[in-house]
Amino acid sequence: MSRTVPYSAEQDDLYYPAKRAVFFAGGRPESDAALCVELSRLAYCRMDFGFAFDRDRIRKVLGAVGFSGCQFFESEGPSEGRGTHCFLASDAANELSVVVFRGTDKDDPTDLCDDLDVGLMAWPQGGRAHTGFANALADVLTDLEPAVTSAPGRILYAGHSLGAALATLLASLRAPKAVYTFGSPLVGDAAFVASLAAVENYRYVNCCDIVTRMPPTALDYEHVGDPYYIDRDGNITFDPANAVICADRMEAAAEYLAKYSWRIGDVAVREVADHAPVNYVYAVT
């Protein structure tokens, strides 16, 4: 199988996903999944100082793959631009709109606080949702919701990590054509999951990615939908048996230890390295 980007164990690709990224290296992909995974990585583009979107760079990348319009939604907060970041890209020619949320920025304490606020709170569509994620979505929802309502054509939601959680929450409030998530944590309880029963959902889990197992189910969390599991070689299988996943993860962790863990500049364990956005791009495109 030909891939547009290689697997990466490097810390920079995990902690600063857009720093050296060449977006859409193979041109605009044909599948919605491949389009959404690269847009989810693009959402990490930010200014050199602070956390606000690098809007010029994002618009340039979007324009190169046929998106003629882009609206940005960012938390009204400190001048450094901490908090929630989302854009709505529109492709009028193909009658397509995509809402894309940025995931956790390791240098943004607001994101980290949202991730760690794991208590469950009542959700308006039913059940209970992760408090930190719900509060993060609320930061942009007032402006985002009317834009989504008026967006032309098919509408997709996408995101990686925290961004995946926010895309899932928005899908519960206002159903898209489909939602594509990459490295998503668990977002709510069983009743919350039921609120998304009618939503077309594609949840990608990259091999050992530990974020996809957090917060633990012991806290009453459940995942939305069955996974599209990416094995240690980058092959994707829909909802394989747990025994198959466990065996694959064990082999992957051992292989990673021998090949990458000892190298300076690489992430120490595959459980963390597999969360890097580029490693979802590697598999899905």
Q: Which residue has the higher pLDDT, 78 or 285?
A: 285
Mean pLDDT, the chain, as a whole number? 95
- How do residues 227-263 score in pLDDT, each as one tens digit? 999 999 999 999 999 999 999 999 999 999 999 999 9
Q: What is the DSSP letter of 43?
A: T
Instruction: Give the helix ranges, DSSP H, for 150-189.
Output: 162-173
Instruction: Name all domains of the chain by residue range, CATH numbers in brackets.
Output: 11-284 (3.40.50)
pLDDT for 50 equals 85
Average pLDDT over residues 274-284: 98
- Write the DSSP symbol of residue 77: -
- The structure's pTM equals 0.96
CA distances (Å), origin 166, targets 123, 125, 170: 13, 15, 6
d(CA 93, CA 68): 9
d(CA 129, CA 279): 28
The pLDDT of residue 184 is 98
Q: Position 132: which residue type?
A: G
pLDDT band at 78, cuts 50/70/90? very low
- What count of Cα atoms within 13 Å lies in the side-chain half-sphere of residue 74? 18
105 pLDDT band, cuts 50/70/90, is very high
